[in-house]
């Protein structure tokens, strides 16, 4: 009963098979191989537009490298207070962007709201060298709270970004879960809504370790390839990362797996809601359920072998726990969890 994180689960069989297939022959190193060469076509097809795509191995690398490409050292990156780049990457974006500044903004459901964003931007003095300058906005899709920005919400944010000459970055560590929820095309929720660069995650949804940085305008790629190398993120056997990405987006594997994870979260949330004493503030849209329940219930679940994070410190005898489902979470884990919660 592992609900700790989707990255507690391993790799999908299709991913492992793709790695084995890529192992057949010799290949030029450092991404000059045939599999990597195919990625451009595959992702351009997926996003219905000519895109630039670069495989990397972690979400933090994808975020920090793409942001540092978009933002100067004196730039400000607006993001949500709870965003991964703000609280879970040990300052990687600041390191890669040579001391650029993240401006954290509060907002319900882990989402940036347009008015709060405008207020935060207005606090910087444009053209004054004493002040970092508005450079980028970063949104997480799906959010760290299991919610999903609608196309209109992204458009509202990109509109603000544009009006201030800023770029829009999307941390898509759980992009598949967002698209599976929205049932829109990958294009609709990215470049058509004004996104400039996407950290397209595969690791949490069934890859061994594979993320793609996607730029929707080749003019923005800039010195990305040098930054990736300088950060030690160009793999000699890049083909094995590219093979994972290829398999991941082939035959809708990414969406099928995400849809399964989402459905399990929905199912779990629905069942938990019917139990008295459990509150679920936000209906899960992606693959995470945040449930507030009595401390003794938490204890009972632990005893039964359920694994999960306590998201906030206990208050008034109750604790908020986070339950993340994945493409590979067994149905029995859901059943077992519900049995245990009922005691």
Interface with a copy of itself in residues 97-126 (CB under 8 A): 98-102, 123
List phi, psi (to 5°) of 164: -110, 10
Nearer of residues 282 and 307 to a copy of itself, judged by Cβ:
307
SS3 212: strand
Binding residue for a copy of itself (CB under 8 A) from 14, 48, 217, 225?
Answer: 225
Beta 211-215 vs 197-201: how paired, if at all?
antiparallel
Q: Which of 130, 183, 219, 276 binds a copy of itself (CB under 8 A)?
A: 130
User: Can residue 131 be called a binding residue for a copy of itself (CB under 8 A)?
Assistant: yes
Q: How far is the CB of 27 from a copy of itself (least distance, A)?
A: 6
The interface region with a copy of itself, picked from 68-76, 174-182, 293-301, 315-323 by CB under 8 A, is 68-76
Q: Which of 38, 40, 44, 87 lies at the binding interface for a copy of itself (CB under 8 A)?
A: 87
The shares of helix, strand and coil residues in the chain, as percent rounded to the nearest 5, are 45, 15, 40
Interaction between residue 52 and a copy of itself (CB under 8 A): no
DSSP 3-state of 168: strand
Interaction between residue 29 and a copy of itself (CB under 8 A):
yes
Q: How far apart are CA 60 and CA 89, in angstroms?
A: 6
* 27 counts as binding a copy of itself under rule CB under 8 A: yes
Give the separation between CA 94 and CA 117, rounded to whole angstroms.
20
Residues 6+ away with beta carbon under 8 Å from 265: 146, 284, 286, 287, 288, 289, 323, 324, 325
CB atoms inside a 10 Å sphere around CB 189: 25
Residues 238 and 135: their CA atoms lie apart, in Å, by 31
Q: Count the residues in the chain.
A: 343
Q: In this structure, what DSSP letter does residue 108 have?
A: G
Does 316 contact a copy of itself by CB under 8 A? no
Binding mask 204-223 vs a copy of itself (x if CB under 8 A, - otherwise)?
x---xx-------------x
Among 18, 46, 57, 77, binds a copy of itself (CB under 8 A): 57
Q: Which is nearer to a copy of itself, 62 or 148 (CB)?
A: 62
- Residue 295 C-alpha from the chain's centroid: 30
Q: Which stretch binds a copy of itself (CB under 8 A): 131-139, 246-254, 298-306, 334-342?
A: 131-139
User: Applying CB under 8 A, which of residues 7, 113, 185, 295 lies at the interface with a copy of itself?
Assistant: 7
Question: Considering only residues 48, 95, 164, 273, which one is a binding residue for a copy of itself as defined by CB under 8 A?
Answer: 95
238-277: contacts with a copy of itself (CB under 8 A): 240-241
In the complex, least distance from residue 182 CB atom to a copy of itself, rounded to whole angstroms = 24
Structural contact between residues 306 and 337, judged by C-beta atoms closer than 8 angstroms = yes
Query: Can you tell me which residue has the tokens 């944010």?
Result: 157
Q: How far is the CA of 248 from the CAs of 222, 245, 257, in angstroms?
A: 27, 5, 9
Residue number with CB closer to a copy of itself (96 or 215): 96
Whose Cβ is closer to a copy of itself: residue 226's or residue 279's? Answer: 226
Binding residue (CB under 8 A) for a copy of itself from 39, 46, 52, 58: 58
């Amino acid at each position: 009963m592992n609900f700790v994180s989707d990255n507690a689960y391993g790799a999908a069989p299709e991913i492992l098979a793709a790695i084995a297939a890529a192992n057949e022959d010799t290949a030029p190193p450092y991404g000059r191989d045939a599999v990597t060469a195919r990625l451009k076509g595959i992702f351009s097809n997926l996003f219905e537009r000519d895109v630039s795509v670069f495989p990397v191995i972690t979400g933090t690398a994808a975020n920090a490298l793409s942001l540092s490409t978009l933002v100067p050292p004196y730039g400000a990156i607006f993001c949500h207070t709870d965003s991964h780049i703000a609280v879970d990457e040990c300052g990687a974006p600041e390191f890669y962007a040579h001391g650029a500044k993240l401006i954290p903004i509060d907002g319900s459901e882990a989402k940036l709201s347009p008015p709060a964003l405008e207020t935060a931007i207005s606090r910087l003095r444009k053209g004054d060298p004493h002040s970092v300058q508005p450079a980028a906005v970063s949104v997480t899709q799906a959010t760290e709270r299991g919610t999903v920005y609608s196309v209109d919400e992204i458009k509202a944010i990109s509109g603000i970004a544009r009006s201030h000459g800023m770029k829009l970055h999307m941390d898509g560590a759980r992009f598949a879960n967002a698209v599976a929820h929205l049932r829109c095309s990958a294009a609709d929720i990215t470049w058509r809504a004004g996104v400039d660069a996407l950290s397209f995650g595969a690791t949490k949804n069934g890859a061994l370790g594979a993320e793609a940085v996607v730029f929707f305008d080749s003019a923005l790629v800039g010195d990305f390839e040098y930054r990736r190398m300088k950060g030690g993120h160009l793999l000699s056997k890049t083909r094995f990362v590219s093979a994972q990405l290829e398999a991941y987006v082939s035959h809708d594997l990414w969406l099928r797996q995400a849809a399964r994870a989402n459905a399990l979260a929905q199912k779990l949330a629905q069942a938990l809601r019917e139990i008295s004493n459990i509150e679920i503030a936000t209906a899960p849209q992606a693959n995470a359920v945040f449930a507030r329940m009595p401390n003794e219930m938490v204890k009972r679940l632990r005893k039964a072998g359920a694994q999960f994070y306590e998201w906030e410190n206990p208050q008034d005898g109750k604790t908020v726990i986070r339950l993340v489902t994945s493409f590979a979470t067994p149905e029995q884990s859901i059943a077992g969890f519900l049995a245990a919660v009922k005691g």
